[in-house]
């Protein structure tokens, strides 16, 4: 397992802007993320997924810089994949290979593990989540929640220092959610967790509320989430005629 | 990339797609009948005027769409320069620009579904012969859907690869991309069925 | 019905996407393109009738003015160019490829697909292609035939790739390989 | 709006079995669903999505029959689309068209509305959810939650007698969730709602818990959900070593 991530340097965004064509999604964002458990909330389309992808280095910011533990994640991909792992919001966007074992083993091979070791670790991860019988299963024969879990296991197997999770619990059943939560509680990595389910973020060290291309609130999770919830309820009543 | 319909609203958006296509046909025929440099220059000026009615930004977008044409213009001019008939080369090049720009104007200001409707109207006599034409219309719409979506999905898959590998993806993604594309087609088939599919005509 | 039409549309789109692979135009004006592989795949995966329909759909959209041929070409003009023989040959090639594929149902997918792609996607395609060049470029049949030589290595590679992809798809999604369904 | 669905005849499954290859997912299921609000729960892979697709007539059962208000939904597709609407679990599996308006208008055209009427209704539905500005937007430029909402609006616009929702709230933000809930509370259609979020089903008339290819519990929502929750918590403790 990797050592405690926060000792290695934080996730740092400096003056980051990003847009698609004429639409600016994030504007001049500067953040230093060093807490172990950070939640990200915000309305649909507020830029949570865009921020996640920036932190994972999958997109380069239009302006500014994103570094994780000193690594420029968009440029130095080799260091980036040891440093950050990301769970995509939609499992179908993440799965590359036709069978479960290939999917899990892929990332491990990329970290330099040899084939036998990668397979053994993939099996160990499957067993850990009580899914040892899945290794030969074609991914296409799994239900959506099951595919989601495959994606999660693939990310966790690589034991990155920072784990970015974009709606990890959406579609998982209760026991699996609980198992995952226990796993995440114990893992030494830093967790950055995007969610619409506020309760999933309770007990976190910090929460950030994105809105209108910037940060609407940032601070201890309890306070930020309470403020977000309150604002969302007020909004709900404003358009009650819907 | 394929829905070339412009987001810039123009007066032409309001015209009927069928009328625009008919006018395009007539104008294209005229372009091929006319055969002088002066007429072609005039035609190009008229087309530029049509674009300008909708504003500079629209003209700029239109010029962007003409990019593939410049290569052929250069080729035609070079060829005719070599054979010593620069006048004919100029006419052909100008005609090409005007014809493509006009066609683009229709494309940029017509929703694709409206264009397909015109095609379906053209095919409607076949229906009397007992041919089911609805699937043809769907197929046209679907191809136009699949091209950008296939590219998008390939991009997503490459992102998924990049999230876990420092190397560029190579031939190894050919099969995954094919699978994603085939699965997407199966999903679309089911989504069509969920809303009536082809049994509704 | 919906499944078959969507798959036909998908493969028409696939030919178009393969047109984005940069082409390389020879002196004869005939480009080396990846689209030929799309034609082979239509036959090996969709079978004779549906494969030919996919290609016809693709050509129909090209005629409607969509810039789907390699290098972003489209419109009625391309049917008056030196490659018109190949364009006419495309649906025939897909049909023959698919027909052979369906005849060889007993054989394993990979060899059957290679065989079908070479006969349908190369031999059969070259005939109208050559005739088209004779008509449009004013060549003799021998000259036109000889000018096809540079295409052969590439086309053999395309047949190999098409067959490998068909076999892999058959393993992963047997129901989607209509030529075997 | 359609009249109250339950007056028109229930959703009826008689001896339904369905499987994929050698794997039987639902075994000899017989259910009569006539309550206005029905929740479906169960673990990942328990067959909830399969059941939804059977009810919508998207797949035909291997054995048995599914009828909705007397319509054999797998065979008589023309009657089926007026009768049942389904929200797919994954929005990317549902969206057919490149722009939002086309996506919404399609189903309406299929119901026989002419082009102008279909467009007008599509706009009305968008306005109802406060998204009037989306009509020209390419679907590909929407966030996942936004795409999910597009799918929902497309289904609701067709005003089917029975609405099957497969995880409708997954990925929606709080105000949108609330707006949708209000909409569903008011809609006269019968709602069959698959969810991992138990709280989304509170107040429902009936809940069904699927497990092992059959019904593990069925009855008033409160009782069924409590039993499900309890069993899931017990499970969680059983594999606490995860
Ligand atoms: N490829 C794209 N092209 C144009 N706009 C895009 C693209 N991708 C996202 N957007 C826009 O960027 C904004 C942010 O999208 P993002 O996916 O980051 O939102 P999100 O906070 O993750 O939303 P959700 O909660 O729905 O997942 C949205 O308004 C979306 O419409
Ligand atoms: N195409 C398929 N081929 C083989 N097996 C399949 C296929 N689709 C689903 N299955 C299997 O059928 C079972 C039921 O799947 P289904 O999608 O109905 O589950 P679900 O209850 O909706 O799960 P989730 O909560 O994860 O969405 C699962 O065990 C799954 O592995
Ligand atoms: O784009 C066109 O107009 C048609 C091009 C046809 C090219 C033919 S197909 C067979 C042969 N192999 C190639 O790579 N190119 C030619
Ligand atoms: Mg998102
Ligand atoms: Mg499901």
Nearest bound ligand to the CA of residue D149:
1
Q: Which amino acid residue places its CA nearest to atom 31 of ligand 2?
A: A142
* Run of H or E residues at D217: strand D214-219
Q: What are phi and psi of A2, to 5 degrees?
A: -75, 155
Which tokens go with B124? Answer: 């409607």
Q: Which of A6-20, B61-75, D75-89, D205-219 has the lowest mean pLDDT?
A: B61-75
- C172 contacts in chain A (CB < 8 Å): 98, 138, 140
Angle of helix B134-164 relative to helix C2-18, nearest 10 degrees?
Answer: 60
C-beta atoms of C17 and B139 within 8 A? no
Q: How far apart are CA B45 and CA B39, in angstroms?
A: 10
Q: Which of B30-34, B138-142, C26-30, D6-10 has the lowest mean pLDDT?
A: D6-10
Query: Is D81 near chain B, with CB under 8 Å?
Result: yes
Assess whether the C-beta atom of C125 lies below 6 angstroms from ligand 3: yes
C-beta atoms of D236 and A179 within 8 A? yes
CA angle B115, B117, B122 (to 5 degrees): 100
Neighbours of chain D (3+ CB pairs under 8 A): A, B
Ligand 2 interacting residues, C-beta cut-off 6 A: A 141-146; D 20-21, 23, 25, 42, 44-50, 89
Q: How far apart are CA A179 and CA D227, in angstroms?
A: 20
Distances (CA, A) of A98 to A171, A207, B157, C31, D22: 21, 37, 13, 35, 19
Assess whether the C-beta atom of C124 lies below 6 angstroms from ligand 3: no
Pairing type for strands A162-166 and A190-194 reads: parallel
Whether residues B31 and B95 share a domain: the answer is yes
Neighbours of chain B (3+ CB pairs under 8 A): A, C, D
C-beta atoms of B146 and C173 within 8 A? no
State in Å: Cα C171 to ligand 5 middle: 25
C-beta atoms of C65 and B103 within 8 A? yes
Q: For residue B72, what is the nearest residue in chain C, using CA coordinates?
A: C73
Q: How many domains does chain B have?
A: 2
Average pLDDT of span D87-96: 90
Are the C-beta atoms of A40 and A210 separated by less than 8 Å?
A: yes
The nearest CA of chain B is from the CA of A80 a distance in Å of 8
Q: For residue D158, what is the nearest residue in chain B, using CA coordinates?
A: B195
Residue A9 class from Cβ within 10 Å (0-12 exposed, 13-18 middle, 19+ buried)? Answer: middle
Which tokens go with A166? Answer: 């974009």
Q: Which amino acid residue places its CA nearest to atom 15 of ligand 3?
A: C32
Nearest bound ligand to the CA of residue D143:
1
pLDDT tens by residue, D105-160: 999 988 889 889 999 999 999 998 889 999 888 888 898 889 999 999 999 999 99
Whether residues B77 and B152 share a domain: the answer is no
B138: domain range?
116-201
Are the C-beta atoms of B112 and D99 separated by less than 8 Å?
A: no
pLDDT value for D240: 43
Q: How far apart are CA B133 and CA C40, in angstroms?
A: 27
Whether residues B153 and B201 share a domain: the answer is yes
Q: For residue B152, what is the nearest residue in chain A, using CA coordinates?
A: A93
Ligand 1 atom closest to A43 (CA): 25
Question: Which of A85, A110, A91 shows the shortest CA–CA distance to A149?
Answer: A91
Q: Best of A175, A181, A235, A241 to disrupt the D interface by mutation (most D CBs within 10 Å)?
A: A175
Give percent of chain C with pLDDT exceeding 70. 94
Q: Best of B25, B114, B115, B182 to disrupt the C interface by mutation (most C CBs within 10 Å)?
A: B182
The nearest CA of chain D is from the CA of B153 a distance in Å of 11
Q: How far apart are CA C168 and CA D13, in angstroms?
A: 38
Nearest bound ligand to the CA of residue D213:
2
pLDDT tens by residue, D48-72: 999 999 999 999 999 999 999 999 9
Average pLDDT of span A54-67: 94
Are the C-beta atoms of A100 and A132 separated by less than 8 Å?
A: no
pLDDT value for B2: 45
Are the C-beta atoms of B166 and A78 separated by less than 8 Å?
A: yes
Pocket of ligand 3, candidates C30, C38, C156: which has the most ligand atoms within 8 Å of its Cβ, to mutate?
C30
Q: For residue A176, what is the nearest residue in chain D, using CA coordinates?
A: D236
Whether residues B123 and B102 share a domain: the answer is no
Distances (CA, A) of A109 to A3, A157, A187, B33, B134: 21, 11, 22, 65, 49
Q: Which amino acid residue places its CA nearest to atom 3 of ligand 3?
A: C83
Assess whether the C-beta atom of C58 lies below 6 angstroms from ligand 3: no
Average pLDDT of span C131-146: 85
Whether residues B97 and B127 share a domain: the answer is no
pLDDT value for D241: 42
Q: Kindly tell me the sign of the dihedral angle through the C-alpha atoms of C21, C27, C29, C30.
A: negative
pLDDT tens by residue, D164-178: 999 999 888 998 888
Q: For residue D143, what is the nearest residue in chain A, using CA coordinates?
A: A45
Q: How far apart are CA D96 and CA A9, in angstroms?
A: 45
State in Å: Cα A142 to ligand 2 middle: 5
- Identify the structural domains of chain D with CATH numbers, from first to last: 11-240 (3.40.50.300)
How large is the C-alpha radius of gyration of chain C?
15
Q: How far apart are CA A79 and CA A69, in angstroms?
A: 10
Identify the domain boundary among B110, B139, B157. B110
Nearest bound ligand to the CA of residue C18:
3
Please give the CATH number for the structural domain made up of C2-180: 1.10.1760.20
The separation between the first and the last C-alpha atoms of chain C, rounded to the nearest angstrom, is 14
Assess whether the C-beta atom of C90 lies below 6 angstroms from ligand 3: no
pLDDT tens by residue, C49-85: 999 999 999 998 887 767 788 877 776 567 766 788 9
C-beta atoms of B143 and C173 within 8 A? no
The separation between the first and the last C-alpha atoms of chain D, rounded to the nearest angstrom, is 50
pLDDT value for C77: 62
- Tell me the CB-side half-sphere exposure of residue C170, using CA atoms within 13 A: 22
Identify the domain boundary among B86, B110, B134. B110
- D128 contacts in chain A (CB < 8 Å): 242
- Which positions 15-34 of A are in contact with B (Cβ < 8 Å)? none
Q: How far apart are CA B101 and CA B89, in angstroms?
A: 18
ipTM: 0.83
Identify the domain boundary among B56, B82, B110. B110
DSSP, collapsed to helix, strand or coil, labels residue D21 as coil
What pLDDT tens digit does each residue of chain B (201 aa) get? 345 567 778 899 888 888 887 888 788 778 878 889 999 999 999 999 999 999 999 999 888 877 656 766 776 687 778 777 888 878 878 887 887 788 778 877 877 667 777 888 888 888 888 888 888 888 888 888 888 788 888 888 888 888 888 888 878 888 888 999 999 999 888 888 888 777 654
Task: Mark out chain A residues that contact chain D at CB-CB < 8 A.
Answer: 20, 23, 42-45, 49, 89-90, 92-93, 128-130, 141-146, 149, 167, 170-179, 182-183, 196-198, 229, 232-233, 235-236, 239-240, 242
Q: Spell out the alpha helix ranges (H) of chain D.
A: 48-55, 77-83, 91-94, 100-110, 115-128, 144-157, 174-186, 221-238
Q: Which amino acid residue places its CA nearest to atom 19 of ligand 1?
A: A45
Whether residues B97 and B187 share a domain: the answer is no
B75-89, C91-105, D87-101 — most confident range: C91-105
Ligand 1 interacting residues, C-beta cut-off 6 A: A 20, 23, 25, 42, 44-50, 89; D 141-146, 171
Q: Which amino acid residue places its CA nearest to atom 2 of ligand 2?
A: A141
Average pLDDT of span D199-224: 94
Are the C-beta atoms of D101 and D119 separated by less than 8 Å?
A: yes
Assess whether the C-beta atom of C154 lies below 6 angstroms from ligand 3: yes
pLDDT value for D31: 95
Distances (CA, A) of D130 to A211, A232, B93, C13, D170: 17, 15, 50, 35, 19
Q: Which amino acid residue places its CA nearest to atom 13 of ligand 2?
A: D45
Largest Cα–Cα separation, chain B: 63
Assess whether the C-beta atom of C32 lies below 6 angstroms from ligand 3: yes
Query: Is C46 near chain B, with CB under 8 Å?
Result: no
C-beta atoms of A196 and D172 within 8 A? yes
CB atoms within 10 A of CB C151: 20
C-beta atoms of C65 and B107 within 8 A? yes
Are the C-beta atoms of A82 and A111 separated by less than 8 Å?
A: yes
Average pLDDT of span D70-90: 90
State in Å: Cα D240 to ligand 1 middle: 37
pLDDT value for B64: 81
Angle of helix B17-33 relative to helix B86-109, nearest 10 degrees?
Answer: 180
DSSP, collapsed to helix, strand or coil, labels residue A64 as strand
Q: What are phi and psi of A240, to 5 degrees?
A: -70, -15
The sheet that has D206-211: what strands, in order across it? D84-87, D162-166, D190-194, D37-42, D206-211, D214-219
**What is chain D's mean pLDDT, rounded?**
89
Whose tokens are 């114990």? That residue is: A186
Query: Is A178 near chain B, with CB under 8 Å?
Result: no
- Buried b / exposed e along B164-174 (16+ C-beta atoms within 10 A): bbeeebeeebe
Q: Best of B4, B71, B143 to disrupt the C interface by mutation (most C CBs within 10 Å)?
A: B143
Whether residues B120 and B100 share a domain: the answer is no
CB under 8 A, 24+ apart: contacts of D80-83: D80/D56, D81/B194, D81/B195, D81/B196, D81/B200, D81/D107, D81/D110, D81/D111, D81/D158, D81/D160, D82/D111, D82/D160, D82/D161, D83/D160, D83/D161, D83/D162
Q: For residue B156, what is the nearest residue in chain D, using CA coordinates?
A: D140
- C2 contacts in chain B (CB < 8 Å): 189-190, 192-193, 197-198
pLDDT band at A63 (very low <50, low <70, confident <90, very high): very high
Whether residues B3 and B83 share a domain: the answer is yes
């Amino acid at each position: 397992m990797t050592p405690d991530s926060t000792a290695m340097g934080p996730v740092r965004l400096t003056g980051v802007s990003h847009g698609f064509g004429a639409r600016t999604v994030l504007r001049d964002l500067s953040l230093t993320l060093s807490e172990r458990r950070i939640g990200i909330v915000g309305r649909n389309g507020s830029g949570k997924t865009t921020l996640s992808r920036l932190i994972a280095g999958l997109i380069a910011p239009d302006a500014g810089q994103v570094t994780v533990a000193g690594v420029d994640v968009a440029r130095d991909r080799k260091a980036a994949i040891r440093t950050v792992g990301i769970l995509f919001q939609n499992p179908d966007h993440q799965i590359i290979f036709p069978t479960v074992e290939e999917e899990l083993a892929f990332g491990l091979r990329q970290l330099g593990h040899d084939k036998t070791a990668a397979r053994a670790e993939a099996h160990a991860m499957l067993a850990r989540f009580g899914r040892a019988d899945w290794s030969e299963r074609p991914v296409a024969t799994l239900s959506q929640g099951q595919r989601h879990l495959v994606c999660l296991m693939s990310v966790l197997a690589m034991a990155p220092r920072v784990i970015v999770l974009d709606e990890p619990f959406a579609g998982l059943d209760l026991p699996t959610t609980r198992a995952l939560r226990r796993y995440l509680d114990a893992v030494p990595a830093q967790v950055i967790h995007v969610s619409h389910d506020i309760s999933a973020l309770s007990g976190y060290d910090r929460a950030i509320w994105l809105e209108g291309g910037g940060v609407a609130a940032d601070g201890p999770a309890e306070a930020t989430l309470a403020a977000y919830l309150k604002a969302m309820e007020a909004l709900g009543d404003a358009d009650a005629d819907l | 990339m394929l829905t070339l319909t412009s987001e810039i609203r123009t007066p032409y958006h309001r015209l009927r797609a069928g009328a625009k296509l008919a006018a395009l046909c007539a104008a294209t025929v005229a372009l091929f009948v006319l055969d002088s440099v002066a007429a072609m220059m005039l035609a190009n000026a008229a087309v530029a005027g049509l674009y300008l009615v909708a504003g500079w930004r629209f003209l700029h977008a239109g010029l962007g769409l003409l990019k593939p044409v410049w290569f052929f213009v250069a080729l035609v001019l070079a060829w005719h320069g070599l054979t010593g008939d620069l006048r004919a080369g100029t006419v052909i090049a100008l005609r090409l620009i005007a014809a493509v720009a006009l066609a683009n104007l229709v494309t940029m200001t017509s929703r694709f579904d409206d264009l397909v409707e015109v095609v379906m109207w053209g095919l409607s006599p076949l229906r009397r012969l007992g041919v089911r034409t609805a699937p043809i219309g769907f197929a046209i719409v679907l191809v136009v859907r699949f091209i950008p979506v296939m590219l998008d999905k390939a991009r997503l898959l490459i992102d998924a690869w990049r999230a876990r590998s420092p190397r560029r993806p190579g031939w190894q993604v050919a099969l995954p991309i094919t699978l994603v594309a085939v699965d997407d087609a199966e999903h679309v088939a089911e989504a069509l069925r969920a809303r009536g599919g082809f049994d509704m005509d | 019905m919906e499944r078959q039409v969507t798959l036909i549309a998908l493969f028409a789109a696939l030919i178009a996407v393969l047109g984005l692979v940069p082409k390389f135009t020879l002196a004869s004006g005939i480009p080396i393109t990846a689209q030929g592989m799309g034609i082979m795949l239509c036959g090996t995966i969709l079978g004779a009738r549906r494969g030919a329909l996919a290609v016809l759909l693709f050509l129909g959209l090209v005629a409607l003015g969509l810039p789907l041929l390699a290098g972003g070409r489209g419109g009625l003009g391309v049917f008056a160019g030196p490659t018109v023989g190949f364009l006419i040959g495309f649906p025939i090639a897909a049909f023959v490829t698919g027909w052979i594929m369906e005849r060889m149902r007993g054989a394993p997918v990979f060899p059957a697909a290679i065989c079908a792609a070479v006969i349908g996607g190369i031999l059969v395609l070259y005939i109208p292609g050559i005739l088209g060049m004779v008509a449009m470029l004013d060549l003799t049949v021998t000259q036109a035939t000889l000018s096809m030589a540079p295409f052969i290595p590439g086309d053999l590679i395309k047949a190999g790739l098409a067959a490998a992809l068909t076999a892999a798809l058959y393993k992963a999604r047997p129901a989607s390989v209509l030529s075997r369904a």
